[in-house]
Homo-oligomer: A and B are copies of this chain.
Amino acid sequence: MTAPSDARARGTRLPRVRRRRQLLAAAQEVFVARGYHAAAMDEIADRAGVSKPVLYQHFPGKLELYLALLEEHSEVLVEKQREALESTDDNRQRVIASFRAYFDFVAGDGEAFRLVFESDLRNLPAVREKSEETFQRCAELIGAVIRQDTSISDEEAHLLSIGLVGMAETSARYWLNNHGSVPKGAAEQLVARLAWRGISGWDLHRAAEEQD
């Protein structure tokens, strides 16, 4: 670990756009490894093989740098989720694809998911809002599917999707932290099955269950 990423040749100059990309990559590594607060601008600069003022020529401040990354990866997650749900018309497969999307997201891109799911800056309104918005958008995508194919009320469908998204997020994160205990495919399938059993045929058996 602690691969220096791009500390190559402390003396190479880069065109502006290229440098910016690289700075973002370095920042991601540091923010992911240390969290927002423990991350130092000096370390990010070092990691990029550059001095601090360079960082400030590309981003007005630490916060903006962080927000840029948060924004980017939030968008990736929502997009993955959208693709998953559009990938098929079979709802059962949809559930599986949706969970796989979460696991993929968590497994991918240098653990960037920690920015979205485990940010230590949620107390800042801007960050909290972004986080919740991302969460809501995912839930809404799923909620739309549920509503479309059942007679569940809007409010109930929404709450159910919230629960499902929470399950996906939590189990994906858990799976990643305990790599090796269960292979990815199996974990996805298992949790997806739990979800599918939960929602499939909700209307049908509802009356019966209401009896209790």
Docked CA distance A37–B177 (Å):
25
In the assembled complex, which residues on chain B have CB atoms less than 8 Å from the CB atom of A187? 159
10 inter-chain pairs at a CB distance below 8 angstroms, sorted by A residue, are: A118-B122, A132-B177, A159-B182, A162-B171, A163-B171, A164-B167, A165-B170, A166-B167, A197-B198, A197-B205
Count residues of A near B (Cβ-Cβ below 8 Å): 42
Residues 117-152 of A contacting B (Cβ, < 8 Å) = 118, 120-123, 132
Name the distance in Å between A170's Cβ and chain B's nearest Cβ: 2
A interface: dominant SS: helix
Q: Is A199 an interface residue (CB 8 A)?
A: yes
Docked CA distance A212–B200 (Å):
15
Name the distance in Å between A29's Cβ and chain B's nearest Cβ: 14
Task: Verify B194–A160 contact, CB threshold 8 A.
Answer: yes
